Structure 1
């Protein structure tokens, strides 16, 4: 595979979207313009983005050579020559994932010549043929008014604020010596503020204008704190490093608000704040499989989580598109499955391009990031998503498949044969080894095993799996499952396998994985589908409810500990409205920041159900986020909206106050609308 640098080969790739109208099907149109001086013949065009053609889709003025999930290869008509200055236009009306927003279109494209040379194309944002095209990028924030609903800038809002009186705004905060727990928090606070607000000098010595901040210990909850304000300084009282850190973060937010907007916000010289979180589990998930985030990005994001007083980082390390963590027993995983590219085991997806793209974390880097998070009061939860979502893994380790398996099944995302086989002993041994290595890297003692979106037809062509199914559920069940072989079973939304033979096989796999996790002294996390078959020990596991709002309450009623994270409210990859110009996905809905803020995760729950409520979690999936300005737009301020729900008593929430204060919260990449 070679890249052409010949200026005679210059290509422009454009995509256009015409949504359905009446009985007219939608149209996805591609245009390839030859801007060079050399004609092109005998080539194929490859492109990828969230939009997905149907398998076997008809192409007008072309031919579908291959559709692999969101990556498509098409060819022009036989004998076609793309002359200099000419345009080849082709289109299709058959999509399994249609476009809802401009970011759904192709993000990368390249031509492969008859000689096998790769010619990258310049790609423009997808254009709607029926809407004004003005793609939005960067975080939108409300203006800070002269008269804010509250004179203190704090997110999330504290439990109790009393007797506040304003005075002179200091130039910074001088952190005094204190007990060991306070010193640990002070070091973390210095690091966070230096990362998030470089150049502001938020922490400074008294001789440089810093206001004295003193510390005192008291018994109580580890995340609770108290601030007492006086003209000569501030006293922070807490029981543990997390409480001291959260008190300092609140103080830092107050200071920044008053310093940056002195006509709107004040800095107290009297009064107090007494505070503690509403929920114990305040989480954020980050998918690093679809798009890779380097260690520096992850550390910066952890600082933002801490600034929002979030305390769980769910690290989605594997998926169909990549494997991102070093496992010493299986070096093939990072050698082969951490990279995507043309003619690699995993093809270009979601705009990753023809040349090797990706990355992974070494175990030393993981230890460093986990320790970094711990300083910020954040527990890191790794996810190895199995048995589904395992295409990249199986490309790296094909010996984990049934060698006699035939036929093809596909996930809802169009990934072929992407599930670890419950009847393959090597697959079980693999998971035991991986879990053992992870347990040594993640001291929080929680290992998330995924268990979501296994296709209905999974393993339907595997003699090993069918024999296992016959033993477990009878010959008729095995025969019924075999009829799914080479049948397209995925449909709109994720496959629902409840009550199907597939669920029996998944439960068998999960029972063994859960047993190995328990043997390591760890808790098993899973998406809601991990409940299939009832094989989890509820005392050593928890589930994340994601598909709809009622499911979390139903699972809590069954006795599962639940983290609430419905796609309709807490999936931050969803567009913020149905407007074409907003980026993001749309299959679960279009929650605005106000929708996310107003969502009550336990509305209508009974006392019995609330006993199993652990907390809430934001989920950041990354199909749309090759453009980091899209990340900033989609994640902020909705991440802070979820953080306030997780921390602030419901009766204390106030949207008008929140959205003004959110304007001072940091984003990750500095892209602002």
Structure 2
């Protein structure tokens, strides 16, 4: 190698300095910044950039130095763990966090980022604003196509940003299934990086009391445990080991502390007077009947309400005093939803109390109870938060109460009513922001209730009720997603349900209305998914997942059409069973494929990032004569719930589309020509569906354990096959039968149902196949 000249040595040293610090460099025009949620104002130059590489310095200056120092340290750690760049704090840095209480910034949570030849400056009025600016700066360092450890080029420009709403929330249900402290911290991290700032923590339920209250120790000895019914037995290890869990004061304080460092307010949710069966199971005197129920193992709405008397109110006040001691939030949620009054109505004592108070009905009695609880919170300087059920029932809520409006039907009529009664309202419509709901009708969609809440539906949530005036619209203080945990056994499921719909929620809560655009959101989403992956977040790919539509073609071939929910990304495929890559053939038109082909398809972004994992469609003699339950209609015409079965010894846990209480499916125009045999794969699931029991459909059985029956034309049409069942079998069963084909069989409607009472065990159909 030739020795370097002096000039070459200087050039090499200069290049080394450029790479290891972070300075302005001239670069060609850049792609538009991919930021989430979309900032209020973005100005991006066509040329020029600041390079940030290993060793770049981050400086803190201005007021509140200690708080901002903590923000900067979190930023440095985040960049190192995700981007692979190791920055450090020091003087005269390329990146500066500057906090000035008098800065010309729109909001205390707002910030400004400027990128120019002097470096990158994040300006804010507060440490909170600096934190949100640090999140956006991290996103600027993780633009699409970034490479771990490689220097980042941040193009010249500026971001001026502040939140639209003050309440940007996720409700986490720890009552039905418990998450670990570490899991909740991970959730808080994800919220904070989406600029969400309120965690409503649902701590009490019919199925479990989850917060230790020293004055009432039995709440976590009795109320925190339930019989391990259904899949809970897999979590505990056996049906004989109860499902238990609660949070100590230290646990709760640690979560509050951790959240505060990320500018997330933890709002405790103690549901009253309904959703209280676990409390009544602990102390029967809290209930109306005096009897001790079990801690509930079903899902749904329990009739075990708290007794609305002075003794119960004393208990409630004691609990809330402890809650206020642990949680510093200005807000405390007291629920008020789904209070089934059947026990109140049946109680002479409660009816007498209602008349003594001069009330007309039990809804008003609940309103009186809520007034007492709210007054206790107000006396202690807190603001009560609760659901909109009383308003729907025509009963006024306490004037002090902030209302979470989940009844989104009828053009948000209930939310508008709450506003006109003087309440501040948080919009959390179940139709579009209950993220425990299904995201799609894909066969591999994780369990959840209908109706589906797609990514686009979440993004399109009506935040301001139609008909609200400009003055009334100011009483909408925020948005909130619900994560109800009936079907969420694990934190992996919580993540699957939350992401990427969290990105839609974030943009609803943060971005000004004129900055929100669905097409722009889709263009920016791949960059956010890449960040999720770098953070180790197991997000759902349902929106991008390829969906196969298969029909017959000439000479025994198949015509296959591919699509995905958001009509975005490039679907790439293989026909040899190999997993598609970013260089595999792109789908541009329907495919005609031969018999005995294994088609696999995945979706990719423009930079090659995998947006959806490969899905597989096998094309063979059974393809057109097989349906899984997601491809069948329900006999009731109601949308199905997706449920999980028992985990097999190997492979994935099975998933089913089930009309709860009616084990009946329809296959319109099934191809029956020449059919001689039928097979069914099914599983008997534990009944845990509470108030669904009253609407259960019972089909008359002929055998002791029932059977699957298959009929042509209608559910009372010609019997094609009957397959006896065994109620003692655990896991999936595989049934086969000959088909008694009626004359003239071709394409015929088919009805298949399980006989017997579904409340003794809900049969779920995995798939059925006809064969010759």
Which of the five TM-score ranges fits, normalised by the shorter chain?
0.5 to 0.7
Would you tell me which structure has more strand in proportion to its own residues? 2
The 2-side partners of 1:468 and 1:405 are apart by 20
Match for residue 470 of structure 2? 607
**Corresponding residue of 2:684:** none
- Is the counterpart of residue 505 in structure 1 residue 370 in structure 2? no
Change (3 A) 1:575 1:167: same
How far apart are 1:349 and its partner, in Å?
Answer: 8.6
State the match for 1:137 in structure 2.
none
Deviation digits for residues 337-364 of structure 1 (CA, Å, limit 9, x no counterpart)? 2222359xx9959976621333221112
2:364 corresponds to 1:462: no
Q: CA, structure 1 residues 630+405, in 2 after alignment: closer, same or farther (shift >3 Å)? A: closer
Deviation at 1:657, TM superposition (A): 2.7
Q: Give the corresponding residue for 1:555.
A: 418
Distance 1:593 1:647 in 2: 17
Pick closer, same or farther for the CA change 1:662–1:517 going to 2, 3 Å.
Answer: same
Query: 1:127-181, CA deviations, whole angstroms, 9 ceiling, x for partnerless residues?
Result: xxxxxxxxxxxxxxxxxxxxx9953231111111114345354225632132353
Write the mapping of 1:446-457 to structure 2, written as runs, cut at 5 A. 446-457=331-342
Equivalent in the alignment of 1:29: none
Q: Is the 8 A contact 1:574 1:590 kept in 2?
A: yes
Partner of 2:200: 314
2:62 corresponds to: 179
Q: CA deviation at 1:660?
A: 2.6
Instruction: Map residues 238-317 of structure 1 onto 2, 5 A cutoff.
Output: 238-257=124-143, 260=146, 267-317=153-203
658 and 618 in structure 1: CA distance in 2 versus 1, 3 angstrom threshold: farther
Would you say 1:660 and 2:526 are equivalent positions?
yes
* 201-210 or 659-668, which deviates more: 201-210
Q: Distance in 2 between matches of 1:278 and 1:535?
A: 28
CA contact (8 A) 1:229 1:272 kept: yes
Q: What is the match of residue 378 of structure 1?
A: 264
Query: 2:538 aligned with 1:671, yes or no?
Result: yes
- Which structure exhibits the higher relative contact order, with contacts defined as CA atoms closer than 8 Å and separated by 6 or more residues? 1
**Superposition pairs for residues 628-667 of structure 1, below 5 Å?**
628-653=491-516, 654-666=520-532
Q: Specify whether residues 546 and 150 from structure 1 end up closer, same or farther in structure 2 by C-alpha distance, changes over 3 A only.
A: farther
Q: 2:454 aligns with which of 585, 592, 596?
A: 592
Contact 2:299 2:486 in 1 (8 A): no
Counterpart in 1 of 2:279?
393
Question: After superposition, where does 1:137-536 map in structure 2 within 5 Å?
Answer: 151-164=32-45, 165-167=47-49, 169-171=51-53, 174-181=57-64, 183-188=66-71, 190-191=73-74, 194=77, 198=81, 200-202=83-85, 204-205=87-88, 211-219=94-102, 220=105, 221-257=107-143, 260=146, 267-342=153-228, 354=239, 355-402=241-288, 413=299, 416-423=302-309, 425-473=310-358, 501-531=361-391, 534=395, 536=397
Change (3 A) 1:382 1:567: same
Distance in structure 2 (CA, Å) of the matches to 1:162 and 1:664 = 24
CA displacement 1:391-444 (0-9 Å, x = unmatched): 111111222124557999x99945554211113x22110111111111122222
1:622 corresponds in structure 2 to: 485
Report the Cα distance in structure 2 between the residues aligned to 1:671 and 1:448, rounded to whole angstroms: 29
Q: Cα distance 1:184–1:259, how it changes in 2: closer, same or farther (>3 A)?
A: farther
Q: Aligned-pair distance for 1:552?
A: 1.4
Q: Does the 8 Å contact 1:195/1:300 carry over to 2?
A: no
Query: Comparing 228-237 with 450-459, which one deviates more in the overlay?
Result: 228-237
Q: Secondary structure at the match of 2:171?
A: strand
Which moves more between the two structures, 364-373 or 323-332?
Answer: 364-373
Contact 2:51 2:151 in 1 (8 A): no
RMSD over equivalenced CA pairs, Å = 3.4
CA contact (8 A) 1:584 1:634 kept: no
Tell whether the 8 Å contact from 1:350 to 1:623 is kept in structure 2 after alignment: no
Shift of residue 465 of structure 1?
0.9
Residue 42 of structure 1 aligns with which residue? none
Counterpart-to-counterpart distance in 1, 2:192 and 2:221: 33
**Counterparts of 1:202 and 1:522 in 2: how far apart (Å)?**
44
* Contact 2:71–2:134 (8 Å) recurs in 1: no
Alignment check: 8 A CA contact 1:391 1:415 kept: no
Q: 1:643 Cα shift? A: 0.4
**DSSP-derived class of the 1:373 partner:** helix
Query: Is contact 1:152–1:267 with CA below 8 Å preserved after alignment?
Result: no
Give yes or no for the alignment of 1:543 onto 2:424: no
CA–CA distance in structure 2, aligned partners of residues 150 and 584 of structure 1:
38
Partners of 1:160 and 1:274 within 8 A in 2: yes
Q: Identify the match of residue 564 of structure 1 among 406, 417, 427.
A: 427
Q: Distance in 1 between matches of 2:124 and 2:507?
A: 21
Task: Return the alpha-carbon distance in structure 2 between the equivalents of residues 258 and 582 of structure 1.
Answer: 27
> Alpha-carbon deviation of 1:446?
0.7
Change (3 A) 1:192 1:618: farther
CA distance in 2, matches of 1:407, 1:199: 49
* Structure 2 CA distance for aligned equivalents of residues 533 and 580 of structure 1: 41
Separation (CA, whole Å) in 2 of partners of 1:440 and 1:256: 41
Using a 3 Å threshold, how does the CA distance of structure 1 residues 414 and 552 change in structure 2: closer, same or farther? closer
3-state DSSP of counterpart to 2:280 = helix
User: For the Cα contact (< 8 Å) 2:171–2:483, is it kept in 1?
Assistant: yes
Q: TM-score, normalised by structure 2?
A: 0.59
Pair 1:658–1:400, CA change in 2 (3 A) = same
Provide runs of 4+ in structure 1 moved above 6 Å: 206-210, 349-352, 405-408
Checking the alignment, whether the CA contact within 8 Å between 2:271 and 2:336 is kept in structure 1 is yes
The CA distance in 1 between the partners of 2:31 and 2:284, in whole Å, is: 59
Post-superposition offset of 1:193: 6.7
Q: Shift of residue 447 of structure 1? A: 0.7
SS at match of 2:214: coil
1:73-88 correspondence to structure 2 within 5 Å: none
Q: Quote how far apart the aligned CAs of 1:530 are.
A: 4.4
Separation of aligned partners in 2, 1:266 and 1:202 = 9
Please tell me whether the aligned partners of residues 168 and 509 of structure 2 are also in contact (alpha carbons under 8 angstroms).
Answer: yes
In the superposition, the TM-score normalised over structure 1's length comes to: 0.67
Question: In the aligned structure 2, how far is the partner of 1:421 from the partner of 1:149?
Answer: 65
Distance, in Å, in 2 between the alignment partners of 1:529 and 1:159 is 35
- Partner deviation per Cα, 1:433-460 (whole Å, 9 max, x = no partner): 1111111222222110000001141423
The superposition leaves residues 199-255 of structure 1 with CA deviations (integer Å, 9 ceiling, x where unpaired) of: 644552279998433424142421010011124521111011110101111001110
CA distance in 1, matches of 2:292, 2:133: 59
- Matched residue pairs, number? 495
Structure 1 residue 555 displacement after superposition: 1.8
